[in-house]
Amino acid sequence: MGFPKNHGNDGVRPAAVSAAGWGWQHSGRTRKAIADLNLTIEPGERVLLLGPSGAGKSTLLHALAGVLGGDEEASEFGRLLIDGRPAAEQRGRSGLMQQDPDSQVVLSRLGDDVAFGAENLSVPREEIWLRVHESLDAVGLNLPLDHPTSRLSGGQKQRLGLAGILAMRPGLILLDEPTANLDPAGVLEVRDAVVRTLDRTGATLVVVEHRVAIWADVATRIVVLEPGGGVMIDGSPANVLNQARRMLIGAGVWVPGFVPETRSRVNPPTDQNGGLRGTDGSVLLSASGLGVSRRRSNRRHPVTPVVAGLSAEVRAGLALSITGPNGVGKSTVALTLGGLLPAARGEVVASAVLHREAGPDPFAWTGSELIARIGTVFQEPEHQFVTGNVLDELNFGPRRLGRGEERVDDLLQRLRLTHLTAANPFTLSGGEKRRLSVATVLAASPQVLVLDEPTFGQDANTWAELAGLLTELLDAGTAVVSVTHDEEFTKVLGGRRLHLEPDRVVLEALA
């Protein structure tokens, strides 16, 4: 791979970045988000920024993008310069892409959204539309200019965001975990679009990402931030990955070729000729002729199910992984199995072992009946936070069930949340939020655990903890249903895979 062109095409002048003793403290925080950073990035460099969560990677990116200014009470230390001038005053020199695809879209028509940034920079009208076409072409979005942005997939939305950034002709492209919420196809889509645009413009790149393999071939330099402040390691990807491999693994970075070690199942059920061995796994939930939809059906307006004619069983001590392409209805199936959506066709039946006199239809259970039997962990942890601090959050389930809170201490320790008991759940890091959301559901001791993309955007440490915890639960006889794109995760859990395709369903046993 050659070094990127320093003299960009398309009128882009690659930007230089320099930080001198730079730091940032958000208002109301006792600790600085980032401190004593000394770093110089030459024009045209492609930097992969790594570091444990809480090292201030996102804060640095936001500061470079000039969007930290809204916090009046915050304090800034040292200097952060783009092309020798303060980053905050360099409107339009950089473009930032964030994690959440829905927050990247500003306007409702594709072309207008791409034009938005260029308009704000007072680019003349004729020039704007030339740039819109070029940018859409560069990211490979070949759709009409009046295509509604709400109808794009996650990967397309991120590419649209990239096109909007390109239309501004920034010398510095900042990507903050741009692929964390995407399926494997979406990840490649976005990565390739970024590479194409860099080759074309020669712009400087700074990307934050846990999964090194995605960017290892693109980056010309890896910078690892120290949690306390400053730079830990800085060098070419090959050197950094060789010398600091162990350290990076310790920090939870997904180094290429590395799969975290996890506790494997002690006594996994074997599946021979499609049948299960002896005592393993009594049936807890069974679905027959199941059709699912997020829309409510009524007698006059029956809905067309997203998935129809599905039959599956959820067994104690056995994992069921639901896989398949985006938009095929995986989450909808899981929510229906979890008693959160009514079956659009067919039925979901809880066995007597599970329902314990609450009735066979999980959707008809009360909230308390549900959480003691089936626990569902949503993709976005924030959706499930219902109290103001971590401890209350964990006690919430047991209190509703009138149970003791003895399990809570165990979960706090197990998921490394002990030091956070007084913290507001919304202020936690991504990994902490994920661990808390799993712990809150487990606190009610459900027999069936349903998880929607539990490993999306997680660092390797949280990943390994989750996987280990789930194999323990499986050994103890809990059933685990997970919707996932994560092949490694599916492999660790074992059990069965329910693979959904637009035209068929395949159920198979995993070795």
Identified binder of other proteins from the candidate list 20, 364, 422, 476, rule CB under 8 A: 364
Contact string (CB under 8 A) for other proteins, positions 480-509, x = contact: --------------------xxxxxxxxxx
Q: For tokens 């080759």, what's the residue?
A: 199
Alpha-carbon distance values, 158 to 177, 228, 331, 484 (Å): 11, 31, 21, 20
Applying CB under 8 A, what is the total number of residues that bind other proteins?
106
Of the two residues 121 and 216, which places its CB atom closer to other proteins in the complex? 121
Provide the CA 337 distance to its chain's centre, in angstroms. Answer: 23
When the beta carbons of 405 and 501 are compared against other proteins, the nearer one is 501
Q: What are the phi and psi torsion angles at 96 (to 5°)?
A: -115, 135
Residues 10-39 binding other proteins (CB under 8 A) are none
Binding mask 314-353 for other proteins (x = CB under 8 A): -------------xxx-xx--x--x-xx------------
| Burial status of residue 74 (CB atoms within 10 A of its CB: 0-12, 13-18, 19 or more) | middle
Kindly identify the residues of this chain, within the stretch 271-310, that bind other proteins according to CB under 8 A: 271, 273-274, 293-295, 304-310
Out of 375, 430, 431, 494, point to the residue binding other proteins (CB under 8 A). Answer: 375
Cβ(89)–Cβ(109) below 8 Å: no
Please tell me the distance from the alpha carbon of residue 244 to that of residue 247, in angstroms, as a whole number. Answer: 5
What residue type is 28 in one-letter code?
G
Which residues touch 403 (CB under 8 Å, ≥6 apart)? none
Q: Please state the closest distance from residue 375 (CB atom) to other proteins, in A.
A: 7
- Taking the complex as a whole, the smallest distance from the CB of residue 432 to other proteins amounts, in Å, to 16
Cβ nearer to other proteins, comparing 233 with 308? 308
Buried b vs exposed e over 318-357: b needs ≥16 C-beta within 10 Å?
Answer: bbbbbbbeeebbbbbbbbbbbbbbbbbbbbbbbbeebbee
Q: What is the smallest separation between the CB atom of 66 and other proteins, expressed in angstroms?
A: 7
**Within positions 378 to 417, which residues make up the interface with other proteins, using CB under 8 A?**
378, 380, 382-384, 386, 396-397, 400-401
The correct pick among 363, 403, 421, 477 for binding other proteins (CB under 8 A) is 363
Please answer whether residues 294 and 341 qualify as being in contact, where contact means their C-beta atoms are separated by less than 8 angstroms.
yes
Each residue 136-165 as x (binds other proteins by CB under 8 A) or -, in order, gives ----------x-xxxx-x-------x--xx
Site string for other proteins, 100-119 (x = CB under 8 A): x-xxxxxxxx-xx--xxxxx
Contact status, residue 26 vs residue 222, Cβ threshold 8 Å:
no
Taking the complex as a whole, the smallest distance from the CB of residue 54 to other proteins amounts, in Å, to: 19
Scan residues 169-228 and list those touching other proteins (CB under 8 A). Answer: none
Yes or no: say if 407 and 443 are a contact pair by the CB < 8 Å rule. yes
Q: Please, which of residues 416-455 interact with other proteins by CB under 8 A?
A: 426, 440-441, 444
Closer residue to other proteins, CB minimum distance, 5 or 499? 499
* Rounded to 5°, angle at Cα 393 from 391 and 398: 95
